[in-house]
Amino acid sequence: MNQLGRWAKGVFGAKAPSAAEPAATPAASTSSTPPTPPPTPPTPTPTATDAVAERTPPAPTAPTATADPGEQPVDKAARKQGPPFVNVAIVLAAIGLSLWLMTTYNGLLAPIFFTLNLMITVYPVYRWLVGRKVPSVVASMVSGLLVIAILLAFLFGLYWSVAAMVTKLPEYQEQFNTMYAQTITFLEGLGLSEEMLKDQIMSIDPKSIAGFATGLLSDVGSVGSTIVVMVTALIFMVMDTSQVQDRLALAGRSHGRFIDALGNFSAGIRKYWVITTVFGLIVAVLDGAVLLGLGVPLALVWAIFSFLTNYIPNIGFVIGLVPPALLALFDSGPKTALAVVIAYSVLNFVVQSIIQPKFAGNAVGLTPTLSFISLLLWTAVLGPLGALLALPMSLLVKALLIDPHPGSRWVNALISSRPEDAIDPEPVDEPTYTRARD
């Protein structure tokens, strides 16, 4: 057995593997081979640009500005707009130029704007007719005829009132002479003699009276041209009436705020004219009843005159008060004239300052002070029609320059009769157009 073992060892040269020891895998034999190192990348050849970059020193880094806690941040938008006084000067120059242009062409602008006011006021009549299946052309013509009827009634009432006063006053020549003598006696008691008063009267330059009369006649003569402009503008407005709603709705898709502001303006002046007419008629009826009770001549004439002058804001009732008070003074004495003044003042205050706001709110939309300033401004700019158009013109300026812009709506807190208009309404996803159609 020993010889057999030595023979096997000589044949195999090693110990024969047993079943418990598995044979070595080829991977085990190759793992003893050392790994091959990766190739070394070639060294780049330096160029002339690299040499220049090595010789150029690095640029100094700008120091970072440190914000001062007490320093106010600078508004870049405000810096681009320029100093405030420049903006104020530009706005004032634009306002002055606009007023000058309107004053120059007031013979055209005032009649056209007045006609536009009347067309906006009667526009619900057009919509009512169209809703009753009346053709739009016929409805437009009916609206235009209604405007002409309103103009004729206004002019006839004004002419009749003034003509009646001019015809009636000469009948009181004796009373006027008596009052004149009493006035002279009263002034002499104050140290003013009749000769001194006559000298003052004689010192009046007849040329100034002639100039005043000439200006008055020119104003009367301009009534004809004003009527021509109004009728011509009315014809074209009637032609455009059927398309107004569609055009505004189309423009409202891209400029919703602006069109809504125009809609608010239309609704505002329509409310203003309707309410002024209704409550002016109430005041006129009450004034006529008082004049009849006091026995003042031409009570119906003065009631109509009071109704017409009611359209002039702030001072309209004063203008309507002077003729009946003067006639009451000549006809019945100072007590009756004083009663007329008191009655007119009380009725105007109660109806327009107490009753009207409760039923219709503030139809003007502006503060009383701004209403009076508007009367003075637009009368000076647009002439006699400016007295009637004072508040609508101010409402138009407000609708175009203040209401559509969120940055300027704060002005409503100062000028509007509704300070809450200064609050910007909630933005909507799509511009809407609703009130302009009304």
DSSP labels, 162-194 = HHHHHHHGGGGHHHHHHHHHHHHHHHHHTT--H
CA pair distance 384, 111, nearest whole angstrom = 11
Confidence check: pLDDT of 430 > 50:
no
What is the model's pTM? 0.67
CA pair distance 413, 370, nearest whole angstrom = 13
| pLDDT at residue 41, rounded to an integer | 53
CA pair distance 263, 254, nearest whole angstrom = 15
Within 10 angstroms of residue 320's Cβ, the number of other Cβ atoms is 27
Q: Is 123 helix (H, G, I), strand (E, B) or coil?
A: helix
CB-based contact 377:384 (threshold 8 Å): no
In whole angstroms, how far apart are CA 423 and each of 267, 307, 362, 407, 426?
Answer: 19, 37, 18, 10, 9
Residue listed under structure tokens 């640029």: 59
CA pair distance 15, 4, nearest whole angstrom = 13
Confidence check: pLDDT of 137 > 80:
yes
| pLDDT at residue 193, rounded to an integer | 63
Residue listed under structure tokens 């006011």: 117
CA pair distance 300, 327, nearest whole angstrom = 13
In whole angstroms, how far apart are CA 350 and each of 304, 345, 346, 347?
Answer: 19, 9, 6, 5
CA pair distance 301, 324, nearest whole angstrom = 9
For the segment 177-190, what is each residue's pLDDT rounded down to a tens digit?
A: 777 677 777 766 77
For the segment 83-125, what is each residue's pLDDT rounded down to a tens digit?
A: 677 777 888 888 889 899 999 998 889 999 999 999 999 999 9
For the segment 317-355, what is each residue's pLDDT rounded down to a tens digit?
A: 888 888 888 888 888 888 888 999 999 989 888 887 777
Torsion, Cα 153 271 103 84, to 10 degrees, reads: 170
| pLDDT at residue 217, rounded to an integer | 47
Which one is predicted more confidently, 365 or 325? 325
- Please enumerate in sequence order all residues whose Cβ is within 8 A of that of 291, keeping only pairs 6 or more positions apart, or say none: 299, 302, 303, 324, 328, 340
- Please enumerate in sequence order all residues whose Cβ is within 8 A of that of 59, keeping only pairs 6 or more positions apart, or say none: none
Q: Per-domain residue ranges for the chain?
A: 83-244, 252-438
Q: Which two tokens stand for residue 198?
A: 């006559």
Which one is predicted more confidently, 81 or 52? 81
Of the ranges 35-44, 89-98, 200-209, 412-421, which is most confident?
89-98
